[in-house]
Amino acid sequence: GVGVSIHGRFRVATEKTVFAMPETAIGLFPDVGGGYFLPRLSGKIGHYLALTGFRLKGRDVLKAGIATHFVDAEKLPALEKDLIALKSPSTENVADLLNSYQAK
């Protein structure tokens, strides 16, 4: 999941989002995607996540830099509808739409 999706331009989290790397809890190392992006997170949070298998939930996924936007889960159907309805789905238009849904 995250090892692939982390490279996307937009990554939306909700209050139901859970970031986990269960392989580290049983003594294995993060997959190739995790091994690339975790050390690049701000501070030492990536190292901590890789070494401990700690789970992040909700807004913490955004604060750690794994998600780019935080949207309330109940607004996802409307967001999806508005994304589909974009006449010109440029990076800027998608960013503007996501920003308009971003929970404060």
Instruction: Give 91's Cβ-side CA count (13 Å radius).
Output: 3
Instruction: Enter the CATH code of domain 1-101.
Output: 3.90.226.10
Give me the pLDDT at residue 43, please: 92
From the list 47, 65, 59, 80, the residue with the least C-alpha distance to 2 is 65
pLDDT at 75 over 90: yes
More confident residue, 95 or 104: 95
Report the predicted TM-score, pTM, of the whole model to 2 decimal places: 0.87
Chain mean position to CA 93: 19
Mean residue pLDDT across the chain: 90
Q: Using the CB atoms, write b or e for 19-34: b if 16+ within 10 Å.
A: bebeebeeeeebeeeb
- Name the band, by pLDDT with cuts 50, 70 and 90, for residue 101: very high
pLDDT digits (tens, 9 = 90+) for 13-41: 999 999 987 777 777 777 767 778 888 99
What are 66's two structure tokens? Answer: 């794994």
pLDDT digits (tens, 9 = 90+) for 34-57: 778 888 999 999 889 888 889 999
